[in-house]
A and B are shown apart, each in its own frame.
Chain A
Amino acid sequence: MPCLKCVVRVALALQLLLASPQLLAHAQPEGSLPAHGSTVNDSPNRIAVWFDHPMRLTLFEVSGPQGVVPLNPSPGRDALTRFETSPATPLGPGKYTVRWRGLASDGHVMADEIYFIVR
């Protein structure tokens, strides 16, 4: 096949051209505030998650005994390694679930759920 060498060369050249110079990272969650599974005595002032590489958060939702908790601010879809927000009103006693989804720079969609208890 006379064209095979040409095609292989073109494919290799494309691979080199398309290889992104930046590290395309598969971001992982590193921690949260309040910590996953923890119990806090009062309503937390801040609710946060952080990652080992930049993540574009597309969903960040806190829900508890009264339903979905209004937050300020909401995530803006910018690439960030830490997102921090506050409940618009103090949280009453009960179990709260934080659900987030986001896009890592390697194209993987990521999701997780963490919970904490307000005493």
Chain B
Amino acid sequence: MTPSLPPVQFLQPLLDLLAQTDPWTWLRVLAAAAFYASALVAVGGLLFRLVFGGDPGLNRAAGLRTLVSTGAGLALLLLLLQWPLQAGFLGGGTWAAAFDPGLLALVFDGAAGQRILLAGSGLLLLFGVWIESDRWRGLGAAASLLGAALVLLAFTQVGHSTGEPRLLLASLLLLHLGGLAFWIGALIPLYRISASPPLSEAAGRVLQRFGRVATPVVAILIAAALLLAWRLMEGWTPLLHSAYGQVLLLKIAVLGLLLGLAGLNRWILVPAFQSGAPRARQRLRASILTEAVLVALILLLTAFLTTTTSPTG
């Protein structure tokens, strides 16, 4: 940043972008953010079951069955809602355009259609398996994993990561999303299992293991995101001088806060919870809840980023 540049002038690209964002686009941003959240919670709930789900009592307390099936069902509805919202925007931001068969067909006949088919199939698999049972064996487990893989793959079908080198960009995005799903999907189960005093000992062990496993996972998801951003923006200069870069900087700032909370949980609040310190349970749960709010903010910024702008301007 040029030190003499006034803050308002420095933020001009971002302010211009905000001024150009019409109500229809905000609707698309909200729908995209809600879709990201519900789809990643569904996939992350499955990953939580895979990594930490040995204890049936804890699984019940974590409410994994409800979490995955509700997340998948909601994501499916939001995925379908995004289709007419996109058609409506293309036709000038009207409900008549949103249900124009020609515009709906145009959106479906391309990358967005592939995304709807892939994500829809994956979410249906997750919903179908988890609404019926959360038993982790045989065909149900395989179908769940396949469903989660399809949902994550769907994210690579649309947008900036479809450029060249496609395999590298898509792999980085998959790594980023897998790590993010693991983190996001664990928040609600961890919040729930830390509520019950009879489960404190088992919950403490899961919280401690989560801290250990999450450290390398989060490091990988951040490294993948930085590499992806560098490739897409073709350097770091647009980070300061473009609207895309400035929204990305906001996202990184919120991520910094989130990492601070995660560190606080791992090194202070979880050990205090395990030792039964006074008010440790309430403090830990408040911290996890704050993490969830920051994650929601990050997803909102991501949806704004991917809906309204592009890395190259």
With A and B bound together, what is the CA distance between A77 and B105 in angstroms? 11
Near B by CB (< 8 A), chain A positions 12-56 give 14-15, 18-20, 23-26, 28, 56
CA distance A10 to B159 in the complex (A): 23
Per-residue contact bits, chain B 86-128, to A (CB 8 Å; 1 contact, 0 not) = 1001111000000000110011001110110010000000000
- The answer to the question of A95 belonging to the interface, with a C-beta cut-off of 8 Å to chain B, is no
Please report which residues of chain B, range 125-156, place their CB below 8 angstroms from some CB of chain A when the two chains form the complex.
Answer: 138, 141-142, 145-146, 149-150, 153, 156
Q: Which chain B residue lies CB-closest to A6?
A: B142
**Is A113 in the interface zone, CB < 8 Å from B?**
yes
Residues A109 and B90 in contact in the complex (CB < 8 Å), given A3-B142, A15-B153: yes
- Asked if A18 and B163 make an inter-chain contact with CB atoms under 8 angstroms apart, the answer reads no
A106 engages B160 (CB within 8 Å): yes
> Could you tell me the distance between the alpha carbons of A10 and B312 in the complex, rounded to whole angstroms?
34
Q: How many A-B contacts if CB must be within 8 Å?
A: 96
B27 interfacial contact with A, CB 8 Å: no
The answer on a CB contact under 8 Å between B170 and A15 is: yes
The contact of A107 among B115, B153, B166, B167, by CB within 8 Å, is: B115
- A-facing mask of B276-313, CB < 8 A → 1, else 0? 00000000000000000000000000000000001011
> DSSP majority for the A interface?
mixed
Point out the residues of chain B lying under 8 angstroms from A101, CB to CB: 89-92
In the complex, which residue of chain A has the Cβ closest to the Cβ of B85?
Answer: A109
How many residues belonging to A are interface residues under a CB distance threshold of 8 Å? 33
- CB-defined contacts of A58 to chain B, threshold 8 Å: 90-91, 103, 106
B102 touches A18 (CB 8 A): no
CB atoms of B145 and A4 under 8 A apart:
yes
A105 within 8 A of B: yes
The proximity string for B residues 158-169 relative to A, scoring 1 for CB distances below 8 Å and 0 otherwise, is: 111011101100
Does A106 contact B90, Cβ atoms closer than 8 Å? no
Classify the interface of chain B: helix, strand, loop or mixed: helix
Chain A: minimal CB distance from B97 (Å):
8
| B162 close to A24 (CB less than 8 A) | yes
A23 lies within 8 A of B145 (CB): no
Asked whether, in the complex, the Cβ of B153 is within 8 Å of the Cβ of A103, the reply is no
Q: CB-CB < 8 A to B313: which residues of A?
A: 28
Contact check, A11 vs B107: say whether CB atoms are below 8 A apart.
no
Within the assembled complex, what's the spacing in Å between the Cα atoms of A10 and B249? Answer: 37
Q: Which residues of B contact A111 (CB under 8 A)?
A: 89
Is A59 an interface position by the 8 A CB rule? yes
Contact with B along A80-107 (1 / 0, CB 8 A): 0000000000000000000001110111
Which of A4, A7, A14, A107 touches B110 (beta carbons < 8 Å)?
A107
Closest residue of A by beta carbon distance from B306: A108
Residues in A whose Cβ lies below 8 Å from that of B312: 26, 28
Q: Is the CB of B167 within 8 A of A19?
A: yes
**Inter-chain contact B310/A103, CB cutoff 8 Å:** no
Please give me the 5 A-B residue pairs with the lowest Cβ-Cβ distance, nearest first: A107-B111, A107-B158, A11-B149, A24-B162, A58-B90
Contacts beyond the supplied A18-B118, A105-B111, A107-B159: 20 A-B pairs with Cβ under 8 Å: A1-B141, A3-B141, A3-B142, A7-B142, A7-B146, A10-B146, A11-B150, A14-B153, A15-B156, A18-B157, A23-B164, A24-B166, A26-B312, A28-B310, A101-B92, A103-B90, A106-B162, A106-B163, A107-B114, A107-B162
A: residues with CB less than 8 A from B are 1, 3-4, 6-8, 10-11, 14-15, 18-20, 23-26, 28, 56, 58-59, 61, 77, 101-103, 105-109, 111, 113
A sample of 20 inter-chain contacts (CB < 8 A) reads A3-B138, A3-B145, A7-B146, A8-B149, A10-B146, A24-B111, A24-B166, A26-B162, A56-B106, A59-B90, A101-B90, A101-B91, A102-B90, A103-B90, A103-B112, A105-B111, A106-B163, A107-B110, A109-B89, A111-B89
